[in-house]
Homo-oligomer: A and B are copies of this chain.
Amino acid sequence: MGLIPKSIALKYSGQVIRVRKGDSVFREGEPALFFYQVEEGSVKMVTSSEDGREFIQGVFHAGESFGEPPLFCHIDYPATAIAITDSHVLKIPKDRFFQLLQENFAIHLRFDEGLCQSLRYKNMILSEVSFHTPEHRLQTLFRHLRETLPKKQGHIEVPFTRQVIADMIGLRVETVIRSIKKMESEGKLTLKGGKIRL
């Protein structure tokens, strides 16, 4: 699985780099020179406001690509990509990547599918953030995670802290904590030592 098989990536000057937890793959304002895909671990994409708050545009896991828009729009990165665990990231130079797409229509199609998935996610979060209550936002995010994350023995353990969740749906930690507690008391989810189970 993964958008681009390593065997093919190698033919197009692809190389895998290691990124430590907390380090950035690229930062806001830098020119977009490479295509990136997570091989191992996970990477978050964040934009931060003047006063230090950050909004998490997305979290990417093994097999998912990220940071494509600037490649196609020929602009500098409008956001920063940071590893949230030690990770391996595949990078392919921009022009070689376009060549790869041209010569592999099937991959190109799957690439588009990835973009579209991303758009769907954003549309979803957007309408949530713009007119739904904290609880509703959480439920929608959790539903999405349920559909996306691999489930082990019937349930899913949310792999994010409450702060990260807050930054994903535009809320404050305290609000997320309170809402989750409320949802637990209503039986909408269970808490197992702080971890959220769906």
**In the complex, which residues of chain B have a beta carbon less than 8 angstroms from the beta carbon of A47?**
123, 127
Q: Are A126 and B127 in contact (CB under 8 A)?
A: no
Whether A122 contacts B120 by the Cβ 8 Å rule is no
Tell me the bound Cα distance from A160 to B81 in angstroms: 35
Q: Which of B68, B126, B170 contacts A57 (CB 8 A)?
A: B126
User: Interface segment, A1-9, A110-118, A173-181, A185-193?
Assistant: A110-118
Copies of this chain present in the complex amount to 2
Which secondary structure dominates where chain A touches chain B? helix
Check A79–B123 contact: CB distance below 8 A.
yes
Residue of B nearest to A172 (CB): B131
**Residues of A near any B CB (own CB < 8 A):** 47, 49, 53, 55, 57, 68-73, 75, 78-79, 98, 101-102, 105, 108-109, 111-113, 115-120, 122-127, 129-132, 169-170
Starting from the known contacts A47-B123, A75-B120, 4 additional A-B residue pairs (CB-CB under 8 Å) come to A49-B131, A70-B116, A78-B124, A98-B109
- Can you name 17 A-B pairs with beta carbons within 8 Å? A47-B123, A47-B127, A53-B131, A55-B127, A68-B116, A68-B119, A69-B119, A71-B116, A72-B109, A72-B113, A73-B120, A78-B124, A79-B123, A112-B115, A115-B119, A118-B119, A129-B130
